[in-house]
Chains A and B, each alone.
Chain A
Amino acid sequence: MRRPVDIAKDEASMTTLVELTSVFEGIASMRIAQTKNQVLESTKFFDALWAIYLQLRVDAIFSYGRGNSDKPVLDRELFIIITAEGGFSGDIDQKLVELMLKDYDKTKNDIIVIGHHGAMQLSQRGVSFRKYYKLPSKDKNINVAPVIKEVQEYRKCTVYYQQYVSLMNQEVKKIGLSAAIQTTAEKSETHEAIISEANYIFEPSSYAVAAHLERSMMKIALSQLILQSKLAQYASRFRAMSASHERADESKAELHLAYNRARRNVKDERLKEIINGIKKSKAAAS
């Protein structure tokens, strides 16, 4: 039987754990609310840019902001996988890596990883990747320009990301980057007016403006996918913390029960010793 003082120590540690998981749960929940707002703000900004692009459209095909550049394009598909920075976000990263590896063919695809956890998971599986970027710690002004520069070198690009469905449900998804732009744009209002050189002055040129808009919208779309992933990671962390909180609470209650039992046992033992002592002294007196 364990001593009550040892059980009390364990109970105190478990109380700390309960408090810690509760704090992490709170932080995750606060981050979820903040990130949701940022996605909304960023979507409004995207809509305004998309409205101009739609009226200006100089080419029928989305050209990844390459414009009239004659730089050769790699005839391969780039995979961008957005994972968490640390391994503190449940099992969602593992599911995402598995989803990407189902499509991966090293003769046709290159991989760029955003988030250290994804890079580690790929290394453990012996899959090499072209580049690794840290997942931005801040949620505002995410600089995705270096990634977009890489994207422009490829004919096609698919992004693997995590999507927040609800606090208790997150999904792993994939989307073509140009399709991501199209999907975001479908939600915005349609604009009938046409912007052309007949009714507008362009500096430096309509093609340069259209290419710049494409690059800008790719940046916003990628930033939004990163925010979506972070949202899902916060939710996954919240779920993991909720489960840990529950388990820690149960363990604490069990330890408290064990502590009370142990104390009672000690008291019973002492009482037995006293009664035995009294019996012995009575027997000796008679």
Chain B
Amino acid sequence: MSDETPTSDTQAKEAASTTDGRSMHVKVYSPFKVYFEGTAESVSAESATGPFDILPKHHNFITLLDPCDLIIRTGKDEEQAIAIQGGIMHVKADEVIVFLDV
């Protein structure tokens, strides 16, 4: 166990956002609401070319999302589904940002 226990909110956030190559930092939000923010093992959605999955170490990627269920897998049997009407997904260095209502 590490001795470096986060002592403040900022440190806790920094620790949560650090990815180890097996997870990614994911943020799903619209101008007025954050739907999800945290680490995840994979993210699935649909674009014009069909369904796709984003896993850690994915190549830099920008896509326009189609209406679908955006699925964020946070653990082995844990997932969160967000019904979306469309959006923009930006993937870079194990960081996935989904802009909704745009």
**Which A residues form the contact surface with B (CB < 8 A)?**
38, 41-42, 45-46, 48-49, 52, 56, 140-141, 195, 199-204, 208-209, 212-213, 216, 219-220, 223
> Could you tell me the dominant secondary structure of chain A's interface residues?
helix
Contact, CB under 8 Å: B32 / A203: no
Q: Please give, as numbers and ranges, the residues of chain A lying within 8 Å of B101 by CB-CB distance.
A: 141
Contact, CB under 8 Å: A42 / B32: yes
Contact, CB under 8 Å: B49 / A204: yes
Q: In chain B between 40 and 86, which residues have their CB closer than 8 angstroms to a CB of chain A?
A: 47-49, 59-64
Q: How distant is A216 from chain B, measured CB to nearest CB, in Å?
A: 4
Q: Please give, as numbers and ranges, the residues of chain A lying within 8 Å of B61 by CB-CB distance.
A: 200-203
Q: In chain B between 17 and 36, which residues have their CB closer than 8 angstroms to a CB of chain A?
A: 29-33
Contact, CB under 8 Å: B48 / A48: no
Q: How many residues of B contact A (CB 8 A)?
A: 20
Q: Please give, as numbers and ranges, the residues of chain B lying within 8 Å of A49 by CB-CB distance.
A: 88, 99, 102
Q: How distant is B30 from chain A, measured CB to nearest CB, in Å?
A: 7
7 tightest A-B CB contacts, nearest first: A216-B102, A203-B63, A45-B31, A42-B31, A200-B60, A140-B32, A201-B61
Is B90 close to A, CB under 8 A? yes
Contact, CB under 8 Å: A48 / B63: no
Contact, CB under 8 Å: A141 / B49: no
Q: Please give, as numbers and ranges, the residues of chain B lying within 8 Å of A219 by CB-CB distance.
A: 102
Q: Please give, as numbers and ranges, the residues of chain B lying within 8 Å of A42 by CB-CB distance.
A: 31-32
**Which B residues form the contact surface with A (CB < 8 A)?**
29-33, 47-49, 59-64, 88, 90, 97, 99, 101-102
* 16 new A-B contacts at CB < 8 Å, known A204-B47, A212-B102: A45-B99, A46-B31, A140-B33, A141-B30, A141-B31, A195-B60, A200-B61, A201-B61, A202-B61, A202-B63, A203-B48, A203-B49, A203-B61, A208-B64, A216-B102, A223-B31
> Could you tell me the dominant secondary structure of chain B's interface residues?
strand
Query: Which of A45, A141, A195, A201 has most B Cβ within 10 Å?
Result: A45
Q: Which listed residue (B49, B60, B97) contacts A48, Cβ 8 A?
A: B97
Contact, CB under 8 Å: B97 / A41: no
Contact, CB under 8 Å: B99 / A195: no
Q: Please give, as numbers and ranges, the residues of chain B lying within 8 Å of A204 by CB-CB distance.
A: 47-49, 64
The docked-state distance in angstroms from the alpha carbon of A49 to that of B99 is 8
Q: How distant is A56 from chain B, measured CB to nearest CB, in Å?
A: 8
Query: Which of B47, B49, B63, B64 has most A Cβ within 10 Å?
Result: B64
Q: Please give, as numbers and ranges, the residues of chain A lying within 8 Å of B30 by CB-CB distance.
A: 45, 141
Contact, CB under 8 Å: B32 / A141: yes
Contact, CB under 8 Å: B59 / A216: no
Contact, CB under 8 Å: B47 / A213: no
Q: How distant is B46 from chain A, measured CB to nearest CB, in Å?
A: 11
Q: How distant is B34 from chain A, measured CB to nearest CB, in Å?
A: 10
Q: Please give, as numbers and ranges, the residues of chain A lying within 8 Å of B59 by CB-CB distance.
A: 200-201
Q: What are 21 A-to-B residue pairs whose CB atoms are below 8 Å? A: A41-B32, A42-B32, A45-B29, A48-B99, A49-B88, A52-B88, A56-B62, A140-B32, A140-B33, A141-B101, A195-B62, A200-B60, A200-B61, A201-B59, A201-B61, A201-B62, A203-B61, A209-B64, A212-B102, A216-B99, A223-B31
